[in-house]
Chains A and B, each alone.
Chain A
């Protein structure tokens, strides 16, 4: 019998009941909750007179709607305020732990889970948010769910699931200096397309992935969903275990040893069979910049904007033409000639301490260019912010002309006051460049933190490796 993939192992360990029709009831170890997708789930629970099945499995935090400026006055937008208060009330009513807006542990749900050790190897992790795939970086099975499914998890601690196919994306060899996790995952999406992973759970492997830090692996898994995959994951290794150790929710003492022994098996067996395997040569990956309105519309920074005339598929060609119009770009212009108006460094993709260090190291001793109307850095959590301040990164960034904000989703989706005005162009470390994502009519280019900082100080895209 062929060996098991990591996905098989995680799946098998969580089957509560096999329905025999291709679906199974899977047990959910961790349910993360935020204010936007949860009100209707709690309401459903209340209406049916149900209680959370296992209240300790849940952890809640407001992140999408919270202001990133002075919070002492609360949330100005009344509708957003009601949503955050609704979360507070629901957590209070059902006894769920919540890191409220004024808690130092508050932050983006996908940053705080791992930071607290609430995400552990071998877990099933779900959240009413598509970027839940982030947590797969720990050798966990993690994916986003809808509100009906949240209600289902709250009420039963289970989820009805159909098993996906397994794909291995192996990034072989080493990436060059200055090429980051963000560039790797954008290059993968550029290759397989935004629907390339549909119906799959992707395991990321290969030397370039094991070389990444845990934070880098989170960046890669975060964007698995942008390749259409249900989940992204990376095998457990020493780095994973080292990262988890000592975190508030992590096991201690004797349980720690038992846990580590259990986690050591969280990798695909040598003879495991994947439904699809894709290999990518790490050496060819350059810093990436998206040019269009879908993450698959991505090129290397040294390239030019693609020309729809070279596209044979008529549907794709039209999509490209629409994207160019929306983005206000000409085909064949060099990426490095694209001037930008705003810079956003943050989001669950790139708001951790290493991301802020990377941005600060580029910004150090430089100034934000004159044509930039706003360059902002939004740490992923209160604890990331604190750490950055202890390292003096905030000073470097502020000195260079960046705004240093309070943690939250911010301009990743612009539900709060941070947004692009129509026609404004942004270098953003977030994960989606859809039309209107960062504000109606706003134009988003996805890049790594170092590339975003380089764009901020030069006013246009530039290969960060060319900056001495």
Chain B
């Protein structure tokens, strides 16, 4: 997993609540057995006017010029601001894979769906929860200022606006440390091999039917 420490980048707005993982990456792209290459199909049904299928040459497809990410002012955006319950629905990790592959490293919203939240951190995406009214202001700032950027610092847990105004955010310490150091969860867990074995031995005695 790639580390995350600090990022200053263009911000794109996703102005609707309950953006679900089916919308983030439609199911036909889930047939891939790889982890990469989902970026061109991020938000596929909103981004293109024709129906997307795996294996298509996306550069030849009909672009929906109304869709926010297709507007030239948001090209190269690496920070996404969103509304309530972002990432709800299916547990597909293809959703964070697609967001990451497209270039997003930070998503800011009032709330996120639970599994999506976990999945994103496992892939080095920083999700930040802010109050709805703080976000409302950001949506307005982005709308009014072309090329609007935010500076996100994980170590100090701050977001700095271009006018110098600083917003603090909360994050679980364990997620923060994993992200700052780019740590591999499996490697960390395997430091507890003895604990796992001891647990299994005890459980086999107490509840043998679980080990048949």
Contacts and interface: CB of A to CB of B under 8 A. Distances in A.
Interface of A: 16-17, 19, 21-23, 25, 27, 29, 36-37, 39-40, 43, 48, 50, 53-54, 56, 64-65, 77, 79-80, 82-83, 86, 120, 122-123, 128-130, 132, 143-149, 151-152, 155-158, 160, 162, 194-195, 198-199, 228-230, 249-251, 255-256, 258-259, 262, 294, 315-316, 318-319, 322, 413-415, 432, 434-437, 440
Contact of A316 (B17, B30, B45, B92): B17
Interface in B162-212: 172-174, 185-186, 188-190, 192, 195-196, 199-200, 203, 207-212
A195 B116 CA distance: 13
A251 B212 contact: yes
25 contacts: A27-B200, A36-B30, A37-B30, A48-B186, A50-B186, A79-B54, A143-B115, A145-B118, A146-B93, A148-B93, A149-B122, A155-B189, A156-B189, A157-B196, A162-B172, A194-B18, A198-B85, A228-B88, A251-B209, A294-B18, A315-B17, A318-B16, A415-B30, A440-B26, A440-B51
Contacts of B54: 79
Contacts, number: 189
A415 B31 contact: yes
Contact of A199 (B114, B188, B190): B114
A16 B195 contact: yes
A437 B24 CA distance: 12
Given A40-B34, A151-B186, A319-B17, A23 B114 contact: no
Given A148-B122, A435-B45, A255 B93 contact: no
Contacts of A25: 189, 192, 195-196
A11 to B, nearest CB: 14
Contacts of A262: 207
B34 A37 contact: no
A120 B34 CA distance: 33
A128 B144 CA distance: 41
A160 B189 contact: yes
B111 interface: yes
A149 B203 CA distance: 23
Nearest to A293: B18
Contact of B209 (A23, A120, A318, A435): A120
Contact of B91 (A80, A144, A198, A436): A144
B45 to A, nearest CB: 5
Contacts of B27: 413-415
Interface in B38-62: 45, 51, 54-55
Contacts of B186: 48, 50, 151-152, 155-156
Given A156-B196, A228-B113, A228-B114, A130 B28 contact: no
Interface residues of B, number: 58
B64 interface: no
A21 B174 contact: yes
Contacts of A249: 212
Interface of B: 16-18, 20, 22-23, 26-28, 30-35, 45, 51, 54-55, 83-85, 88-93, 96, 111-115, 118-119, 122-123, 172-174, 185-186, 188-190, 192, 195-196, 199-200, 203, 207-212
B91 A27 contact: no
A228 B45 contact: no
Nearest to A296: B18
Contacts of B96: 146
Given A146-B122, A149-B122, A23 B115 contact: no
A120 to B, nearest CB: 7
Nearest to A200: B114
Nearest to A195: B85
Contacts of B20: 432, 434
A153 to B, nearest CB: 10
Given A130-B89, A195-B88, A415-B30, A434 B212 contact: no
B122 to A, nearest CB: 4
B31 A319 contact: no
Given A21-B173, A148-B185, A228-B88, A436 B45 contact: yes
Given A79-B31, A123-B210, A195-B85, A149 B189 contact: no
Q: A-B pairs with the 3 shortest C-beta distances?
A: A251-B209, A39-B33, A146-B119
